Chains A and B, each alone.
Chain A
Amino acid sequence: MSGQSRSGQSRGVIERSLATFVDALQHTFHAEELAKKRGLLQRLDARVKIVAILPLIIIAALARQLTVICALFTFAVAIALLSRVPPSTLAKRVWLPVLAFTGLISLPAPFLTPGKAIYSLPLLGWTITAQGLRSAIYLIMRAETAATFSILVILCTPWTNVLKALRVLRFPTALVVIVGMTYRYIFLLLQTAHDMFQSRKSRMVGQLDGRELRRTATASAGVLMSKTLQLSEDVHLAMRSRGFRGEVYVLNEFQTGWFDWVMLPLFTGIAVLAFWFGR
């Protein structure tokens, strides 16, 4: 999204953030389309998918051998291709953001870590060490690999099935219900906040000074908070109205097939090998 409004006025941080979050809602539609495709991960039962991928994420984050981390990354890309997830989607949603974030964190490492000097920056004269560069690459590759596996699970599974699988796998029910309801209502509240800002903007002429902007932002936050509390009260009443007495009961509708029982040992085998060689 552009940082400039049509009128050329620069938009505030809050407004830009809200617009970005509302835009994220549109991405969920795209994610659901990917989850409906006929691919390798899409064919797997949600529980099997989580059980198969979770160890790979942990091992990728802990492995001490760069070759093993690179092999896991290659495996993740292969799974993505077999699951019909375009590399451009991965690049846009995972690789570039993770590179930017971890790159920033690891930026000082090549210069500050003591070791064998391999290059000196012209003009500045700062020295890059082999050990420092290696640490930075480790950090980036671990993060990229773990994030790629994680996003593949999310992209190739309807979000609702991820939640159900977590409940079936005995994750604490209260936690899963809270995550599910947060996901359910976050977009509603963000849309409400976005509409409030749009409504104010449509009735405003000229620019507000910093103090006025802070005052209106605080007032809007207060109104939104009040609406959120009212919504939570109403949702609780709606739950009670249908028999909720403090404990949520769920249906386990998952069914495993032969494909799950072939893929689960394969993924587990790869995880064991990666763990062994990555020590």
Chain B
Amino acid sequence: MTAPNSAVPVFEVRDVTFRYHAVTALDGLNLTIMPGERIALLGANGSGKSTLLSILDGLYFPQKGGVAFCGQPLTEDRLQTQEIEFDFRRRVALVFQNPDVQLFNPTVFDEVAFGPLQMRWPKAQILDRVSEILEQMEITHLKDRSPHHLSMGEKKRVALASVLILDPEVLLLDEPTAALDPKSESQMIDFLVSCSGGRKTVVTATHDLDLIEDIADCCHIFQSGRIVGAGTAAEIVKDHALLLSTNLIHAHRHAHASGELHSHPHRHGHGHGH
């Protein structure tokens, strides 16, 4: 795989269609992601965001259309070559929505060390880097704990640490704040903001509108496997018609003291009302 070039897109998704048996998850999707961009993929459940992340991470491959990574086709055949796959896996990392899926090792330490070990890094380098990343993510005290003893917030941080250890150029995040309490969510956003600054490209799939202004410059709205709208985070949160039509907000009906019943667009946030 070639080194990143600011003129060459990190990912170029062209006319991608992907089906799970009879269900179409992505339907002729086109998307270009440039180096250093912070992108949010917004959409209701089942709109195809997570499938796209899996395709960008080379875990699924489209039945129609194609994806290029840094100008090179991202195909199953190419990833069969160990050198190409290790280079790709080091540069692109995916944080899964459900941390229990991602935390399969006996301890937090093993979890964070898993990626470098598979890529045959020298032992001393792995030990140094694991200590460094545990400290950075403020989870050193958890290093000998088993993942099933951790809280959801701690699991999410360990899952993030387990991919950040490889210092990837591209970070793919699937609902990074889902199922977190307000404090853990705030900590997670702080981590994401701090690690998305600079040279990293960050693609976040979410339906949390309160998150996007902090972690994305550009948003793409998904519906039924297609992109139906795009814009800056500020533009998107003001486009109530688009958000309503894509089920990202809903009409909220309530009565006032006068007895008048009315409705207006409503989104579920955390810590502040609508």
Contact = CB atoms under 8 A, between A and B. Distances in A.
Contacts of A159: 106, 146
Contacts of A187: 148
Interface stretch (B94-102, B134-142, B216-224): B94-102
B106 A160 contact: yes
A245 B146 contact: no
Interface string A21-40: 00001001100000000000
B89 A241 contact: yes
Task: Describe B's contact surface by its main secondary structure.
Answer: helix
B89 A158 contact: no
A104 B197 CA distance: 67
Interface residues of B, number: 39
A234 interface: yes
B84 to A, nearest CB: 12
Given A245-B118, A249-B118, A181 B104 contact: yes
Contacts of B94: 241
Interface size band for A? 20 to 34
A245 B104 contact: no
B193 interface: no
Interface in A224-259: 231, 234-235, 237-245, 248-251, 253
Interface stretch (B25-33, B109-117, B229-237, B243-251): B109-117
B85 interface: yes
A184 B106 contact: yes
A119 B98 CA distance: 64
A75 interface: no
Interface of B: 54, 57, 59, 82, 85-86, 89-90, 93-94, 96, 98, 100-107, 110, 113-115, 117-120, 123, 126-127, 144, 146-149, 162-163, 166
Interface of A: 25, 28-29, 158-160, 163-164, 180-181, 183-185, 187-188, 231, 234-235, 237-245, 248-251, 253
18 contacts: A159-B106, A160-B144, A187-B148, A188-B148, A231-B101, A234-B96, A234-B101, A235-B101, A235-B104, A238-B102, A241-B59, A242-B89, A242-B115, A244-B114, A244-B118, A245-B82, A248-B118, A251-B126
